Amino acid sequence: MAELDNCMNCGKLYVRVTRPICQDCHKEEEKKFQIVYDFMKKRVNREATIPEIVDGTGVEEDLIIKFVKENRLRANQFPNLNYPCERCGNPITEGRLCQACSKDLTKDLEIEEEIAAVEQRNEEKERNMVRTYFAIDKTNKKN
């Protein structure tokens, strides 16, 4: 369902359906994409890196990275297109994290799951201990 929103680029109020930017900014992005794509499809520029594309086209680096992340510019067609991992900054060609960071996060999650399982077992033992009743015989007094 459509709702009113402010464009992330220009701040203009627009009716948001699918994109976080207004129609005018979207048209401008499409023009810039066409400039980058025309630059990249020339044989001499196929192995250009993102900084070289910025120098050759004048299009902002963030926008070129966005095109790569959206798979509009594919690393299999243009082998030197990479962008930094969001965690460590190492160059990657797909996703948000490099393999090393992904493995680290997976390992951390597994450790957290193990800790949660141990805590759950300890809580269960504690609950079982609380249910145990002890009787004290107060009637049998020793003199």
Residue 140: pLDDT above 90?
no
Query: pTM of the predicted model, to two decimals?
Result: 0.68
What is the residue extent of each domain of the chain?
Answer: 3-81
Q: What is the pLDDT of residues 9-49, one digit of tens each?
A: 898 998 888 888 999 999 999 999 999 999 998 988 888 88
Closest CA to 88 of 72, 75, 99: 99
Q: What is the pLDDT of residues 88-116, one digit of tens each?
A: 989 888 888 999 999 999 999 999 999 99
pLDDT at 31: 96
| Amino acid, res. 140 | N
